[in-house]
Amino acid sequence: MHALKITIKLFIALLILILISGSLGGYFIWRHFSQNLPDVQELKEVKFQTPLRIFSADGKLIAEYGEQRRTPIEYDQIPEHMIQAILAAEDSRFFDHFGVDLKGLARAGFQLISGSDVQTGGSTITMQVAKNFFLTPARTLERKFTEILLSLRIEKELTKHEIMELYVNKIYLGQRAYGVQAAANIYYGKDISELTLAQIATIAGLPKAPSAANPVSNPRRSVERRNWILGRMLALGYINDQEYEQAIVEPEIARYHTSDIELSAFYVAEMVRAEMFKLFGEDAYLDGYSVTTTIDSELQAAADQALRKGIRAYGERHGYHGPEARLQYRIQTQNKSSHEN
């Protein structure tokens, strides 16, 4: 009996020692990483990369310059179904957790161990904001720990609405589209407020695999992902049976829509672009400048039409006299082909 008591005391002492060591270790790890965390307040003044847009005096789009297509929107402009679809696809407990979803991590881990397809990852929307704005894509334990600490700090400094707004404007959704508004324009040629439930679910499914589940390049995979998200929305009570049944049978009509250039004035556009680049450098294509010119769209369209008509008339009067010269490269290529034959 005496030996048993000693064993129990030793076990308890060892357990306490392990707990204390673990706590101290966790504290020092937290201190080490937290000292190097970026300033979360930067997110309150973030500037999204948006293209340079050039307009006529009466607001017609003449040209757009920039690698990323993005149109930032505020939280109140996001349709309720879009928020719900994102929650269903990425983080259904977003409004309940503190930046890290322990249940979500456990569920993703179980799906991974069981060999099933991991449809919802362990990363919360807050963790994705931390990663997209501050961290590298490297998959290391150190980076993951930093991501978790940064997520906790973001949740402390920002509201849930602010975090969601950052997320929907930052995420890459394929085809040069950054943010849900740009995706609505590019895939469906619509404002986000005009999308159907099925189209909303399609866009919400893109962050996980913007290429593999792209509705333009891989419509079959995209519809599978879309219908899975619609099923999740139904299970979570976001939509009813009738809405679900109508959405899952809707045909996928996505195609690539270019910028809706409303006025042909390329020479003017190039003059403005060159001047903006002289003033702001590469930032001219990133900081969302909108330049309004003195060009009247009706007069410009009339001048353009008159020029085209005049060129056609000149060609009809003087006829076609053949090419001025032939490219030497073509002759060499043809001679080489004949020699080989």
Structure confidence at residue 104 as a pLDDT band (50, 70, 90): low
- Determine the structural domain holding residue 186 and report its residue range: 70-248
Written as one string, the DSSP assignment of 225-271 is HHHHHHHHHHHTTSS-HHHHHHHHTSPP----------S--HHHHHH
User: Do 64 and 76 have their domain in common?
Assistant: no
Positive or negative: CA dihedral 195, 198, 204, 207: negative
Mark whether 178 and 308 lie in a shared domain: no
β-strands 290-292, 52-55 pairing: parallel
Within a domain: residue 7?
no
Reported confidence tier of residue 79, pLDDT bands at 50, 70, 90: very high
pTM of the model: 0.73
Residues 155 and 232 both lie in one domain: yes
**Residue 274 pLDDT grade (very low, low, confident, very high; cuts 50, 70, 90):** very high
Residues 305 and 204 in one domain: no
Together in a domain, 134 and 218 = yes
Note whether 218 and 275 are same-domain residues: no
Together in a domain, 168 and 101: yes
User: What domain count does the chain have?
Assistant: 2
CA atoms of 121 and 129, how far apart (whole Å): 14
pLDDT interval class at 127 (50, 70, 90): very high
Region 16-43: mean pLDDT is: 59
In a domain, 327, yes or no: no
Average pLDDT taken over every residue of the chain? 83
Look at 99 and 113; give whichever has higher pLDDT: 99
- Average pLDDT rounded to a whole number, residues 12-31: 55
Distances (CA, A) of 7 to 11, 13, 17, 19, 167: 6, 10, 15, 18, 54
Same structural domain, 77 and 148: yes
Q: Do residue 82 and residue 167 come from a single domain?
A: yes
Structure token pair of residue 25: 């270790």
Looking at 222, 248, 274, the residue that finishes a domain is 248
241 with 95, same domain: the answer is yes
Spatial strand order of the sheet with 52-55 comes to: 61-65, 52-55, 290-292
Find which of 40-44, 138-142, 205-209 is predicted with most confidence, using mean pLDDT: 205-209
DSSP 192: G
**Is pLDDT larger for residue 340 or for residue 154?**
154
Establish if 109 belongs to a structural domain. Answer: yes
Is 130 among the domain residues?
A: yes
* E strand map for 5-78: 52-55, 61-65
Q: Is residue 322 domain-resident?
A: no
Q: Is 213 exposed, middle or buried (0-12, 13-18, 19+ CB in 10 A)?
A: buried
Two structure tokens written together for 330: 């073509």
Interacting residues of 262 by C-beta distance below 8 A, sequence separation 6+: 56, 60, 61, 62, 297
Q: Are residues 207 and 290 in the same domain?
A: no
Q: Which helix H or strand E contains 136, and what residues bound it?
A: none
CA distance 124 to 103: 11
Q: Which of 223-227, 248-252, 271-275, 301-305 shows the lowest per-residue confidence on average (mean pLDDT)? A: 301-305
On the question of pLDDT at 231 being above 50, the answer is: yes
Q: Produce one character per residue of 86-107: b if its CB has 16 or more CB atoms within 10 Å, e if not.
A: bbbbbbbebeebebbbeebeeb
Burial 215-224 (b: 16+ CB within 10 A, else e): beebbebbbe
Angle 288-289-292 from CA coordinates, rounded to 5°: 140
Same domain, yes or no: 215 and 140: yes
